[in-house]
């Protein structure tokens, strides 16, 4: 058996099913390019039958990405499989991923099917998918809660029809590591023909065991791990790519398994996912959290200064967090700025670079040094920039313990200057109330998050908002050294995106899925 693990990334499909994580087509394409750079073997680009937006995004990714297999998810119906194939047929390497539930709970209450009907349906789906491509993956949804012998029968039937990968999902994150490993061993011993196919794990994190279960599965003989960046996904999320890859890398002495992941691309990938989804990474998150390599306690700092290995099991630079990296400042020129963008993996037009460079100079005048995260935040504003109906001209906020928070805002609305003042229960509320009045927006705030991009007193604040209006959902981002200004920018960016969504059908269907 090979000791190489196939990394199947499903950030664009299962990850996108996280509450509030929907991405538009341009964002998905940007992420797909980063996944290619990261070196995943397979990317599940979406579920084409779910919406037109999903279909278009999978198709575009299939036509763009050349070095990675592109998978599309489909239920067992012919309609779903047709749609999946239509979306991926131009990919350099394609895969159809079809699934049906196998647990008695799902059979009885959801599918209302007998076990025999499930075997027949799964066989038929794999046979049909095989008529389009050699590369067919079959998943037994809720597999970990299914009867083990029945699972062997369903997988056996899928193998007979030519499935090349068999995936075992722990759909509701119920399994324990020993049990999950044992189930994989049982499948290997009792499923006819299983030695011809790759066994895959797909774990959810409801009990916080997704990574442990995945590693147990790999130890037991699985050779594909389905994962997402930052572990985003339905409910408590999926197994996180960075945790599995770095566990295999750091404990290769015990696991004896490798991946093709370029580990230095882990941190940039994590930042990008967080930026496009607006889902902030918790500071204590393993591998990519802001504190993952921070040593606070005196005794730890002393040890690390003497020898990093006393308290560090991985080097930050291995995951792309280079503590010695070059920082840009106000004396950096256009050339250095462009080189930095290339180093961070951004492929931009000259016009985009010029626009960004102006913003960079404004920011560099306020701060001595700009870290990569600051540059990425500028790029994020750029990615999320659509044709602006509303532009922030001026903002003045008065707040404190003895005044009613008041905001005076000047906006350019379709090129015309308008000014108004308003109140609120806090400075941000006053700003948002005033902007809402000026723009006539009926949008509601679904989420508001604020975080510091880098450490230090002069750190930039990064605000991300999610707005909903008439069923349309838009993400807005804003960064500034002043968090109230960053909040205003994020709100205005979100309002501009809502305006854009109203006139762009692809984005509408995409964001409607929330
Ligand atoms: O969690 C799950 O069961 C899934 C399948 C569709 C693979 O995401
Ligand atoms: Zn899943």
Domain boundaries 390-503, CATH class: alpha beta
Euclidean distance between CA atoms 384 and 289, whole angstroms: 24
Q: What is the pLDDT of residue 510?
A: 38
Q: Rounded mean pLDDT of 124-137?
A: 98
Q: Please compute the mean of the pLDDT values over residues 320-344 and round it to a whole number.
A: 77
Work out the pLDDT band at 131, boundaries 50, 70, 90: very high
Q: How many Å from the N-terminal Cα to the C-terminal Cα in the chain?
A: 41
Coil, strand or helix: which one is 140?
strand
Percent of the chain past pLDDT 70, that is, above it, reads 94
Confidence of residue 499 (pLDDT cuts 50, 70, 90): confident
Out of 357-361, 376-380, 383-387, 436-440, pick the least confident. Answer: 383-387
Question: 142-152 pLDDT, tens per residue?
Answer: 999 999 999 99
Q: When comparing pLDDT for 380 and 220, which is higher?
A: 220
pLDDT at 479: 85
Secondary structure (H, E, C), 31-90: HHHHHHHHCCCEEEEECCCCCHHHHHHHHHHHHHCCCCEEEEEECCCHHHHHHHHHHHCC
- The pLDDT assigned to 386 comes to 63
How high does pLDDT run on average in the chain? 90
Instruction: Give the C-alpha separation, 225 to 239, whole Å.
Output: 9
3-state class (DSSP) for residue 428: helix
Does residue 473 contact residue 490 with C-beta atoms inside 8 Å?
no
Pocket test for ligand 1, best of 44, 102, 139 (most atoms within 8 A of CB): 139
Confidence of residue 511 (pLDDT cuts 50, 70, 90): very low
Tokens representing 148 are: 């083990």
Domain ranges for the chain: 6-284, 326-370, 390-503
Percent of the chain having pLDDT more than 90?
65
> According to the model, what pLDDT value does residue 378 have?
83
- d(CA 5, CA 287) in angstroms, rounded, equals 19
- CA 448 / ligand 1 centre spacing (Å): 29
Q: What is the pLDDT of residues 5-28, one digit of tens each?
A: 999 999 999 998 887 677 888 889
**pLDDT computed for residue 457 by the predictor:** 64
pLDDT-derived band of residue 296, with 50, 70 and 90 as boundaries? low
245-253 mean pLDDT? 98
Give the residue, out of 169, 180, 231, 238, with the most ligand 1 atoms within 8 A of its beta carbon, to mutate for a pocket test: 169
CATH number attached to the domain at 6-284:
3.20.20.70
> Which tokens sit at 282?
């918790």
Task: State the Cα–Cα distance between residues 46 and 223, nearest whole angstrom.
Answer: 22
Query: Three-state DSSP class for 413?
Result: strand
Quick check: 367 pLDDT over 90?
Answer: no
pTM of structure: 0.81
Nearest-CA residue for atom 5 of ligand 1: 141
Of 268 and 135, the structure prediction assigns the larger pLDDT to 135
Nearest ligand 1 atom to alpha carbon 204:
1
Q: For 259, what's the count of Cα atoms within 13 Å in the CB-facing half-sphere?
A: 31
Ligand 1 atom index nearest CA of 143:
3
Range of lowest pLDDT (345-354, 395-404, 476-485) = 345-354
CB of 436 closer than 8 Å to CB of 459? no
Provide the CB-side half-sphere exposure for 511 (13 A, CA).
27
202 is in an annotated binding site: yes
* Token pair for 300: 């730890």
Q: In this predicted structure, what is the pLDDT of residue 505? A: 52
Residue nearest to atom 1 of ligand 1 (CA): 171
In Å, the largest CA–CA distance within the chain is 76
Lowest mean pLDDT of 188-197, 232-241, 253-262, 453-462, name the range: 453-462
The 3-class SS string of 143-154 reads: HHHCCHHHHHHH
Q: Which residues line ligand 1 (CB under 6 A)?
A: 14, 99, 139, 141, 167, 169, 171, 202, 204
Q: How far is residue 123 from each of residues 86, 153, 162, 200, 365, measured CA to CA in Å?
A: 21, 11, 9, 19, 64
- Residue 445, strand partner residues: 467
- Tell whether residue 94 is among the known ligand binding residues: no
Reported as a single tens digit per residue, the pLDDT across 411-464 is: 999 889 999 999 999 999 999 999 999 999 999 998 898 877 666 666 778 888
């Amino acid at each position: 058996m090979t000791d190489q693990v196939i990394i199947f990334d499903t950030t664009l499909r299962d990850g996108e099913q996280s509450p509030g994580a929907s991405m538009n087509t341009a964002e998905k394409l940007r992420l797909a390019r980063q996944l290619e750079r990261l070196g995943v073997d397979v990317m599940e680009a979406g579920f084409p039958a779910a919406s037109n937006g999903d279909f278009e995004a999978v198709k575009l990714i299939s036509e763009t990405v050349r070095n990675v297999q592109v998978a599309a998810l489909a239920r067992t119906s012919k309609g779903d499989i047709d749609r999946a194939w239509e979306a991926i047929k131009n990919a350099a390497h394609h895969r159809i991923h079809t699934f049906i539930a196998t647990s008695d709970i799902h059979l009885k209450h959801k599918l209302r099917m007998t076990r025999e009907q499930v075997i027949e349906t799964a066989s038929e789906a794999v046979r049909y998918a095989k008529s389009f491509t050699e590369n067919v993956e079959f998943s037994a949804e809720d597999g970990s809660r299914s009867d083990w012998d029945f699972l062997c029968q369903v997988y056996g039937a899928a193998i007979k029809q030519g499935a090349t990968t068999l995936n075992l999902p722990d759909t509701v994150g119920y399994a324990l590591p020993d049990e999950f490993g044992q189930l994989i061993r049982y499948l290997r011993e009792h499923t006819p023909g299983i030695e011809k196919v790759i066994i895959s794990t797909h774990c959810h994190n409801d009990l916080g065991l997704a990574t442990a279960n995945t590693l147990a599965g790999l130890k037991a003989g699985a050779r594909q791990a389905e994962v997402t960046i930052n572990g985003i996904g339905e409910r408590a999320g999926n197994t996180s790519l960075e945790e599995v890859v770095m566990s295999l890398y750091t404990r290769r002495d015990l696991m004896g398994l490798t991946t093709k992941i370029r580990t230095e691309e882990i941190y940039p990938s994590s930042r990008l996912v967080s930026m496009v989804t607006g889902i902030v990474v918790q500071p204590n998150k393993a591998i990519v959290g802001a504190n993952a390599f921070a040593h606070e306690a005196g005794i730890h700092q002393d040890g690390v200064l003497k020898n990093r290995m006393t308290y560090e099991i991985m080097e930050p630079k291995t995951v792309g967090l280079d503590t010695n990296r070059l920082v840009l400042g106000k004396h950096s020129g256009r050339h250095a700025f462009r080189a930095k963008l290339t180093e961070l993996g951004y492929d931009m037009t000259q016009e985009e670079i010029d626009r960004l460079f102006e913003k960079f100079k404004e920011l560099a005048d306020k701060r001595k040094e700009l870290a990569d995260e600051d540059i990425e935040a500028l790029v994020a504003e750029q990615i999320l920039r659509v044709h602006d109906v509303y532009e922030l001209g001026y903002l003045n906020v008065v707040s404190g313990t003895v005044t009613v928070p008041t905001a005076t805002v000047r906006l350019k609305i379709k090129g015309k200057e308008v000014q108004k003042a308003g109140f609120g229960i806090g400075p941000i509320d006053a700003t948002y109330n005033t902007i809402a009045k000026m723009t006539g927006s009926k949008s509601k705030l679904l989420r508001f998050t604020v975080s510091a991009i880098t450490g230090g007193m002069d750190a930039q604040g990064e605000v991300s908002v999610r707005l909903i209006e008439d069923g349309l959902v838009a993400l807005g981002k804003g960064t500034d050294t002043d968090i109230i200004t960053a909040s205003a920018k994020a709100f205005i960016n979100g309002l501009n995106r809502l305006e854009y969504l109203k006139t762009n059908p692809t984005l509408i269907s995409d964001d409607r899925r929330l």
